[in-house]
Structure 1
Amino acid sequence: MILVFGKSGQVSRELARQADVTALGREDCDLMQPGAAAQAIAEHAPSVVINASAYTAVDRAETETEAALRLNAQAPGEMARACATRGLPFLHISTDYVFDGSGTAPWTETDPVAPKNAYGQTKLEGEQAVRDSGAQALILRTSWVFSAHGTNFVKTMLRLSETRDHLSIVGDQVGGPTPAADIAATLLTCARAMQEGQPGGTYHYAGQPAVSWAGFAREIFCQAGKTTVVEDIPTTAYPTPAQRPLNSRLDCAKLATDFSVNQPAWQDSLSRVLRESGA
């Protein structure tokens, strides 16, 4: 049995659609409570544990640091240690925000980390807690997640296009939009391989080709048949409490080599998401 922490998130919902999993929401396991994750693992006795839960409110994390630290670092550490004790594979989702966003080259797994905001820092501390646990653990860094449910850029753009004929969108932040369904499929592929003895490690997984937020918006409107015009603006023209990385490109070659998982073409997945959204 696969135990999934997280129930309402984008990846959690896709995991439940693709496999027979037991998904735990806050009502089932309050990760803000120390020891709750370990207790859930003991009670459910799974064969694999996937952590698809996180504190993802990037701007609020600048002030709600204790909650972000609890959910993004301390709770995953508890999960991983519980898995290490029981000899269970543990898979954990992380983010490109552990990097500083400089340059234009895709980030590799061995590049130096230097998060620029509280969210990225708590996710980095979560990675370290998982590594320190001694578990057979896989950390999957991803970026710009989208699906037909939850809160994400695609849904926001569709909503805004209903009332706006012109939008100013950041054009100097570049990354790989990543379908939640593909992240879920990748986690399940890796989980099966780990059950057969494949070691874990840190891996990158993101959609291709790289695109700016403005370019992503244009493709959303094009595929959805919207007439909303997109104007590129620099990050400096759209200040936010948390600093965003300019370069979110991820080098995903290692995942392809070790698990035969290739990067998804996000435009194709966008078409499926738009159909599911009724756009």
Structure 2
Amino acid sequence: MKILVTGANGQLGNCFRNCSERGSKDNYIFTDVAELDITNAEAVKRMVKDNDIELIINCAAYTNVDKAEDDAEFAETLNSDAVRNLAEAIKDNDGTLIHISTDYVFGKEPYNVPCREDQKGTPTGVYGMTKLHGEQAIAASGVKSLIFRTAWLYSEYGKNFVRTMLSLTSTKPTLKVVFDQTGTPTYAQDLADTIFDIIENRRYKDNEGIYHYSNEGVCSWYDFTKMIA
């Protein structure tokens, strides 16, 4: 089976590279914007059709939460319109889309409590809203899909909280970090390993839907920073 991975140079994309290098019965094609502009619907359709893609893992996203407030149009393009392109292209090939979403699709009450998969999205910012729109685009397309919402993703790759705090705590005598926001830090390689296993064992078939995935444990950003330091 041929599998297309988008956003291959990001955190999760690099973790999927690690998975595939350990051996797989499938053929993985890794792309980032240089190889495939997923905002271009025709380019996506050509890639999927010409390579007989049967499954797409979409790791591409606009993830700068703060910057998204001033860059709403591009965030919507990448987090929603591009997702629609992927969904429609793989549906035409009768394939499956695995899409990575976020806990930011929630935000209003209830606050700082676990959220269910069937809970209505209530984003409070542009990033969360555009990611919710991406989920809705998948649903509207009718494509076979699995959506994994994750939280506080970190890894050795790209920009993330752990790498930022490792740098700051090694160069600054003191830091101020918020204590009133709690979450579940999630190692990107664990998520990649889980999805890779699902694909290898074909457990994505007949299990379409929305899933919440994070590592166990709860902490505030302050607690997390202390542990990193």
TM-score normalised by the chain length of structure 2 = 0.91
Tell me the secondary structure at the aligned position of residue 93 of structure 1. Answer: strand
Quote how far apart the aligned CAs of 1:196 are: 6.7
- Residues 48 and 191 of structure 1 are in contact (CA less than 8 Å); yes or no, is this contact kept in structure 2? no
Q: Which runs of 5+ in 1 are unaligned?
A: 222-279
Cα offsets for 1:144-199 (capped at 9, x unmatched): 11001110011001111221121110111100001110111122233345567333
Q: 1: CA distance between counterparts of 2:30 and 2:203?
A: 19
Tell me the secondary structure at the aligned position of residue 7 of structure 1. Answer: coil
- For 1:139, the aligned partner's letter is I
Instruction: Name which of 212, 215, 220 aligns with 1:204.
Output: 212
Q: 2: CA distance between counterparts of 1:216 and 1:55?
A: 24
- Residues 92 and 140 of structure 1 are in contact (CA less than 8 Å); yes or no, is this contact kept in structure 2? yes
Tell me the secondary structure at the aligned position of residue 170 of structure 1. Answer: coil
Q: 2: CA distance between counterparts of 1:53 and 1:88?
A: 18
Check 1:196–1:213 CA distance in 2 against 1; reply closer, same or farther (3 A cut).
closer
Q: Does 1:157 pair with 2:158? A: no
Instruction: Name which of 100, 105, 122 aligns with 2:130.
Output: 122
Quote how far apart the aligned CAs of 1:126 are: 0.3
Q: Which runs of 5+ in 2 are unaligned?
A: 21-26
User: Hey, what does 1:131 align to over in structure 2?
Assistant: 139
Q: Does 1:43 pair with 2:44? A: no
User: Hey, what does 1:15 align to over in structure 2?
Assistant: 16
Quote how far apart the aligned CAs of 1:39 are: 2.2
Tell me the secondary structure at the aligned position of residue 147 of structure 2. Answer: strand
Q: Does 1:146 pair with 2:154? A: yes
Q: 1: CA distance between counterparts of 2:113 and 2:72?
A: 30
User: Hey, what does 1:28 align to over in structure 2?
Assistant: 35
- Residues 100 and 116 of structure 1 are in contact (CA less than 8 Å); yes or no, is this contact kept in structure 2? yes
Q: Does 1:90 pair with 2:90? A: no
- Residues 4 and 51 of structure 1 are in contact (CA less than 8 Å); yes or no, is this contact kept in structure 2? yes
Quote how far apart the aligned CAs of 1:71 are: 0.7
- Residues 47 and 89 of structure 1 are in contact (CA less than 8 Å); yes or no, is this contact kept in structure 2? yes
Tell me the secondary structure at the aligned position of residue 87 of structure 2. Answer: helix
CA RMSD of aligned residues (A): 1.5
- Residues 39 and 85 of structure 2 are in contact (CA less than 8 Å); yes or no, is this contact kept in structure 1? no
Check 1:37–1:195 CA distance in 2 against 1; reply closer, same or farther (3 A cut).
farther
- For 2:70, the aligned partner's letter is T
User: Hey, what does 1:190 align to over in structure 2?
Assistant: 198
- For 1:126, the aligned partner's letter is G
Check 1:101–1:171 CA distance in 2 against 1; reply closer, same or farther (3 A cut).
farther
Q: Does 1:107 pair with 2:108? A: no
Tell me the secondary structure at the aligned position of residue 91 of structure 1. Answer: strand
Q: 2: CA distance between counterparts of 1:3 and 1:107?
A: 30
Q: 2: CA distance between counterparts of 1:190 and 1:76?
A: 21
Tell me the secondary structure at the aligned position of residue 137 of structure 1. Answer: strand
- For 1:214, the aligned partner's letter is Y
User: Hey, what does 2:85 align to over in structure 1?
Assistant: 78
Q: 2: CA distance between counterparts of 1:219 and 1:184?
A: 23
Tell me the secondary structure at the aligned position of residue 69 of structure 1. Answer: helix
Instruction: Name which of 203, 208, 214 aligns with 2:222.
Output: 214
- Residues 101 and 148 of structure 2 are in contact (CA less than 8 Å); yes or no, is this contact kept in structure 1? yes
Q: 2: CA distance between counterparts of 1:121 and 1:200?
A: 22
